[in-house]
Each structure stands twice: as C-alpha cells, then as structure tokens.
Amino acid sequence: MTGAAPDVFDPRLYAHGPPHERYRVLRDDHPVSWQAEPAVLGWPEGPGFWAVARHADVVRVLKDTSAYSSYLGATQIRDPDPADLPFIRGMMLNQDPPAHGRLRRLVSRAFTPRRVEAFGRAARRRATSLLSTALEGPGGAGEEKAVDLVTTVTDDYALLNLADLLGVPESDRALLLHWTRRVIGYQDPDESPTPLLDAAGRPLNSRSPSALADMFAYADELAAHKRAHPADDVLTTLATDPELTPPERQMFFFLLTVAGNDTVRGAAPGALALLAEHPSTYAQLRSGELDLTTATDELLRRHPPVLTFRRTATRDTTLAGARIQRGDKVVVLHASANHDERVFPAPFRLDPARTPNPHVSFGDGPHVCLGAHFARLQLRVLYEEVGRALPTLTLAGPPRRLVSNFINGIKALPVLRPWDLSGTAA
C-alpha cells in the first residue's frame, strides 16, 4: 500500500458525483481502508469504519451474514442512538437470517405475477402522461426551452408508481415524497433545511421512532382502511396478513415507501444524464437497436442509486489483509465495486451490450433488493418513453446532485426541449 487512504466519507464530496478517483486509489492501494468519521453537517463525530472498495470484497461482505451483520448496528454509516436501535432492528433491512428470511417471505406474497403485469401497463401510461405534460408549453419555430426532468417527470413517476403499487389514496401521495426526502436527504441542506431535533437540540436520526411517528400513524390508519375496504394492492395484502404484527406492518410501510420510491427516483435521472452524455447510445435506444434489458443494467452499473451500506463485524476477521475487530463497522462502496477494473473491462465506458454485468447496484446475498424486478421494469419503460418523446436528449446545464454519502441522487436535470411550429415537441 502507498500513501494514506483518501477520505470517502464526507457527504459534501458527493455533491459533484461519486469520488471515482478516490475510489480508484482505494481499490488499487487500500482495498479495505480505515475511514475517520468526523463531525460534519451538524452530526457528531463517530468512531470510524472500514470502507470496502473492491467488487469481490463487497460481494463477500454482502453474502457472509455470519461475519457481517445487518442487525448489530443496522445498515447506515452513522451509529443510531442506542435507545433507537431495538426499534430500528425491527425493519427487514436491518435483520439477519433466519428472521430476515421470514419477513422477506411474507412481503413477497404481495408481489404476484398478475400484479407485476398490471403494474407495467400502468407505469407506461404514467410515463407517457408525465412526459407529454412536461413537454407542453410556449415555444415557436427554432426555439428551445429547458425542462427539469427530475421535478416534472422522474420524481412523480417513481412516487406515483409506488403509490399505485401500495394502494395509497391520491389525496395522500405527496406525503410519500415528503417522508422520502426527510429520510434520504437528511445530509443535504436543500432537502432538509430544518432537521428534526431531539430534546437536547441534536439532529434526530431519520430512522428514529420520533422522526417516523407521523409516518407510522398514517400506516396504521391506512392498514385499518384496507381491512375495511380491501383492494388489489400491496398494502391490502400486508394489512390482512395474520402473520404480520402491527410493528412489522409499520416497518414494511416505511421500507417500501422510502426504498421503493428512492431506488427509481435515484436511478432514473442518473441514467438519463448518462444518455445525454452519450448521444449515439441514446440514438440506438430510440431506434430499438439496443437490448433495453441489458442497457438498463449497464446504466444501473454506472449510476447505482445507493452508494453505501453498512454491516457490523460479528467476530474478529480479516478482509483483503485488513484485520477487522468484532464490533467494527464495515461499509461497502457500491459505486466503487461497480467500476472495479478487475471485474469490468473499461469500467468508465458506457457499454449498453455489456455481458456479463455483475453490478451490485441492488446489493447481493440475502438482502438483494426485493423490488429489483419492479425497479428494472419501471426504468425500462421510462427509457423507452423518453426515447419516443425526445428526439435528442441534450443537457441545458449540469445536473444538481444530492449531498449524500448514501443515496446517489440528482435533484435537477435540465434538458433542452425542441419545438415545432405547432408548439408540440418535435
């Protein structure tokens, strides 16, 4: 190893995208590196953690639940308040086998093949409608106007698709985006300008019972409504499942609301930004030359929606030469693993035909994303409909990125929209 391992913790680094040059240094010289956890953005100093940069080591950590636990300290880099930890451990995301397998089996019942097929049709109608609305407006011959595809298309697309799947009434759907922003954007002053504070004036963990009280109260009300008025949606299935306890239902509502929304909300604009930078690839997508399934996975590889996940060592162990002690935090770097030259030839080349493509954008092991199939479906549909609606995909300015070492988010994606004489998109 040469030199000191570069910092990849500071959330402000990610305002310009994942720090790929720092990741490369880690992969080459410090594949499992000790990272300081200083006080930043109003959060107190933490004990530090091991950052895992290479693909093989990331996969090993994600698969080996006996050595690397989701349960001991949950899955975020920052340590939760010890008083909140028992509550946080109730979420499927923060459990280890066999308890994790039981909850995963129960929620999987809600995702039937028939529901998937109907969901795909509804997603296409929504993509078409949102794009049509976004591209309406004044304009004359030769004029080009900018439109932000995040605020006009991708945010609503992810949110409304999720609301349909869950069965959230139309009048309540804005709440889902509000809760998602609170939980996901807590490091970004634009997303959380007035963070929730505890009695001592310290920022509340966005997954604490106090911070989630309003969401859980709503989940209970909605579950009661679904039992009285059952419908063909996921929440009706969960609300009427006798094996689920009320706290488990609350946690599933939280997990599906936040993870189900933000996976697509994070991935879609990142992929569209990449396609804008690769016009020949975008032209191939529009013409149907590309296998869109393969291309969607390559876009996910280049822009994973989640940047990091944490595990906690259950015992003293060694990983890539690093001696990890029981209780140490171990954090996998998804975007680094996805660009590991040892696995992906020319990793910074967007290759829509890349196979195999063992990216870890949806994780690996027992915790691989439960909604990965639904996310891929939504993304494929959206890319097809964007290709139909926009003959060219040209950025009108740089994307604005989320300040976060957790979510690889884009807050604004301004693109140019061409107009013909009749005022409709050419």
d(C-alpha 385, C-alpha 395), whole Å: 18
Res 88: pLDDT: 86
Lowest mean pLDDT among 18-22, 82-86, 147-151: 82-86
pLDDT digits (tens, 9 = 90+) for 275-334: 999 999 999 999 999 999 999 999 999 999 999 999 999 999 999 999 999 999 999 999
Domain boundaries of the chain, sorted by first residue: 11-418
In this prediction, residue 80 carries a pLDDT of: 87
**Better pLDDT: 193 or 89:** 89
How far is the C-alpha of 407 from the C-alpha of 309, rounded, in Å?
10
What pLDDT, in 10s, does the model give residues 14-50?
999 999 999 999 999 999 999 999 988 777 899 999 9
**Confidence at residue 323, expressed as pLDDT on a 0 to 100 scale:** 98
CB contact set of 75 (below 8 Å; sequence gap of 6+): 93, 94, 309, 310, 311
Kindly provide the residue ranges of all beta strands, DSSP E only, lying in 299-338, ordered along the sequence: 308-313, 317-319, 322-324, 329-333
Contacts of 426 by beta carbon, 8 Å cutoff, 6+ apart: 391, 418, 419, 420
| Contact between residue 88 and residue 94 where contact means Cβ atoms under 8 Å apart | yes
pLDDT-derived band of residue 418, with 50, 70 and 90 as boundaries?
A: low
Q: So what's the pLDDT on residue 209?
A: 58
Superfamily grouping for domain 11-418 = Cytochrome P450 (1.10.630.10)
3-state SS assignment for residue 342: coil
Residue with the bigger pLDDT between 260 and 266: it is: 266
Contact present, 253 and 235 (Cβ < 8 Å): yes
pLDDT at 424 over 50: no
What global pTM score does this model have? 0.90
